[in-house]
Amino acid sequence: MAKLVPQATVDALRSFNNISVDNYGITCQLFIPNNTTQNEPTDVYKVPSDTNFFVTKTKVYVEWTPNMYRLRKLGVFAEGEIPIICWFKNEPEIALGSYIKLDTQYVPAQYDRDEFEITDIIIRGIYDAIVLKAYKLVPRRVKTNLPQK
């Protein structure tokens, strides 16, 4: 294994990330799926209630509207979309399909989305150790049976 970046430096950078999220992050509930392999054979027919989630309270730092230059620095090249980027502490391990629930105040109140799904993991500049991970968020859409009018 190459030692381009010493493990002590990686650990220090990870602790800086934890401190930043602790200081500047907002409190949220994190839902991590824990039975994805069990649901894999029937993925096509899966409904949201089939997934079991490990729920924990944590902090998240959210960049609601990063500009295109910031995204390029992160290695995200988007056409026609500007994703929401978020940062978590290094623990626990977050998988795709996880989502967060925020207690936020919106103006006007009709745009109240409080659940956001993690759709992509952004790892920048990996060589022999992952130092930082960012995540792409989108508003979570869950099928519901709406009453007939």
Instruction: Please give the Cα distance from 9 to 13 (Å, whole number).
Output: 6
pLDDT at 59 over 70: yes
pLDDT at 125 over 60: yes
**At 41, is the pLDDT very low, low, confident or very high (cuts 50, 70, 90)?**
low
Number of helices (H) and strands (E) in the chain: give both, helices first: 3, 6
| Predicted TM-score (pTM) of this structure | 0.76
Q: Alpha-carbon distance 132 to 134, whole Å?
A: 7
| Residue 26 tokens, joined | 């907002």
Contact 123, 90 (CB under 8 A): no
pLDDT in tens, 61-98: 998 877 777 777 777 777 777 788 899 998 878 888 88
DSSP-derived 3-state class of residue 91: coil
Q: Give the pairing of strands 115-123 and 84-88.
A: unpaired
